[in-house]
Amino acid sequence: MQRFATLLDGLLLTLSRNGKLALIADYLRETPDPDRGWALAALTGAVDFPAVKAGTVRSLMAERVDPVLWALSRDFVGDTAETASLLWPEPEPAPQGAAPTLGEIVTALSIATRASAPALLASLLDRLDTAGRYALIKFATGALRIGISARLAKVAFAQAFAVPVDEVEEYWYGQSPPYAPLFLWATGACPPPRTDLLPLFRSFMLAHPLENEVISLDDYVAEWKWDGIRVQLVHVNGETRVYSRGSDEISASFPEIAGALPFPAVLDGELLVRGDQQGGEAGGAASFNALQQRLGRKTVSKAVLAEAPAFVRLYDVLIDGGEDLREQPWTSRRARLEALIPRLDPKRFDLSETIAAANMEALAEIRAGARNAAIEGVMLKHRASPYVAGRRAGLWYKWKRAPLLVDCVLMYAQRGSGKRSSFYSDFTFGCWDGDPDAGAELLPVGKAYFGFTDKELKWLDRHVRQNTVAKFGPVRETDKSLVFEVAFDSVHASKRHKSGVAMRFPRINRIRQDKPAHEADRLETLRAMVT
């Protein structure tokens, strides 16, 4: 655990990507099994101990520390794990023996219950120093938040053992912590794990945003970027699974899709809801808001299946039968995909059509006119591109439509997490429900925590502290004086919000210190944009 604590400290204090990669790679090379596997699982979000939550830590602290001191300290520090590790009283007498290893901690916490977890966690904390206690709480509650993505951890793994990151991605799925077969393969002790026996996830190919690149439609093909969720369908040995972009299996939420791929294949596409019953949206697809009603359900009723029927708009084919097509160019894969379409149920699958345009100028005009709820923008794919995991420069680009803009008033703020735990960085904003000069109410319409620079973050944090009018637990209400120009992709009607609307991907585009709050936009402006 002490070595893991040192790793966390190093990652928190290291800003550069290469520096973080080196720290993780060194740890994975130098740490024995199973601790390095459990650390890797923690870094990639694959550790979960249901009996241990943040509330468990708070309850332990309530028994050991004055509640006022705890509340003031937690508010000042901004992080439960850090506050608890600093305030935890040193046991008397001091425990004998070495600090617990990650493997020992996993064994203990895996069998803990809600009733036994507090005493077990307390005994482990007593055996650690401040840094170790911080690492243990972060590990046990699954809340590292240290700026390490799963992709970065996999790159570090590849760097540690000098193996291709594409192969790490390929063999990763289907393994479970502490990843013994993966380490045996990477160190040359065993052949790679097999991936052909189960319907396992393959990493998606992703796109770079199109910015200043000069490209030609002679080399690239354009197709719509549909606003659903990217999914992968995998059929192996008579079983089909549906995976989200984050590799989560969502077959139970969309059983009609899982049951509609009857032959061996791995397909890539966009999961959408039929728009016929939603007003006839373009391409037969409803807005993301309609799809959202289906997300996260463990079981789906017949009524929901009928009201919001799902289908997949196919983009690509990775494997057809037993043939892996990922090394082939896009043009070849597209031809194979088109040949597969007649074998699929047209109620559940269709093909993402390419966009005919003479040049980029003509494509820009087509894109500008695509203000439709089901379309996010345009994809540009190099005709010779293989299907590779992650983002590769020059192969695929996403050209999202220009965002919508509206002026909103800051209403509430909350501290962030990780590096932002000391700053108020999560902002809720609203629009006027009528004429503010006539006493109209300000109603929340969205929440954003990015779009500003570090310098602006410090200014915003100071503004919140100096203009707080009320506190609700961790949330501060501010006076209604600061205006944000908010950018967002679309807005939808919502029965869950008092304002009646919900923004899609809101972000702070500009801080409008020059604009008085009563001149911010009214709800009628947002309602007119509803798609």
Per the annotation, the verdict on 498 as an active-site residue is no
DSSP codes, 120-140: HHHHHHHTS-HHHHHHHHHHH
Furthest-apart CA atoms within the chain: distance in Å: 80
- Helix/strand/coil for 429: strand
Q: What would the two tokens of residue 63 be?
A: 């028994």
Q: Is residue 482 helix, strand or coil?
A: coil
Catalytic residue (choose from 154, 225, 381, 480) = 225
Backbone angles phi, psi at 380, to 5 degrees: -125, 120
Q: Are strands 475-478 and 483-488 parallel, antiparallel or unpaired?
A: unpaired
| Dihedral sign (CA 375, 376, 381, 385) | negative
Name 90's Cβ contacts closer than 8 Å, sequence gap at least 6: none
Rounded distance, CA 519 to CA 531, Å?
Answer: 25
C-alpha dist (Å) from residue 479 to 442, 484, 505: 11, 14, 25
Which of 256, 261, 259, 252 is CA-nearest to residue 272? 256
Cα–Cα distance for residue pair 488/64, rounded to 1 Å: 46
Query: For residue 386, is the peptide bond before it cis, meaning its omega torsion is within 30 degrees of 0?
Result: no
- In whole angstroms, give the CA distance from residue 470 to residue 51: 34
Rounded-to-integer distance, Cα 316 and Cα 325, Å: 10
Active site positions, annotated: 225
